[in-house]
Amino acid sequence: MNINEVIKYPILSEKSYQQMAAGIYTFAVDFRTNKSEVKKVVEHIFDVKVGKVNISNIKKKPKKVGKFNGFTNRYKKAIVTLSEGVINIFPEDAEEAPKEKAVKKSEKKEISEAEKKAAAKIAAKAKAKEAKAKEVEVKEAKATELKTETKKEEKVEVKKETENK
């Protein structure tokens, strides 16, 4: 069997996360594979020393999605215990080399002209929004002043009418 076909994906659950600290990793493997193939492939791909491999068959389970009935796929689950080394399942969490960090920092400092123009446009739009917001606030303040003035005038007129009667 081809090396790329043996391991399908890592099984990531609460239990498997807890076991990773102890050097035990869980993988979904091809249904036709066996323990010795899994051991060879894990040692070759991840460059670690495998202590033992346990394999179990996971049967298909009935599932219902809306009005459709069906089954999940069957697969084999391989539980690999390492005697030496660590498998890095999440490569983005790995420490970057110092050279790569230096290169990324220098790349961040250099800003192209297009980026500068885009930043200027964004700043201009933000200023325009602020100016519109201020205009709206001023208009609302004037409107409230007019309403209060008209209410005062109406009260004065009502008082005059009541006095005249």
The residues spanned by each domain of the chain are 3-93, 111-164
Distance CA 93, CA 45 (A): 19
Q: Is the pTM of this model over 0.75?
A: no
Is 107 a residue whose pLDDT tops 70? no
pLDDT reported for residue 13: 94
pLDDT reported for residue 161: 77
Is 97 a residue whose pLDDT tops 50? no
Distance CA 70, CA 47 (A): 39
Asked whether 26 and 14 are in contact (CB, 8 A), the reply is no
Instruction: Give residue 17's identity as a one-letter amino acid code.
Output: Y
Domain 3-93 -> CATH class: alpha beta
Asked whether 34 and 56 are in contact (CB, 8 A), the reply is no
The tens digit of pLDDT for each residue in 51-72 reads 999 999 999 999 999 999 999 9
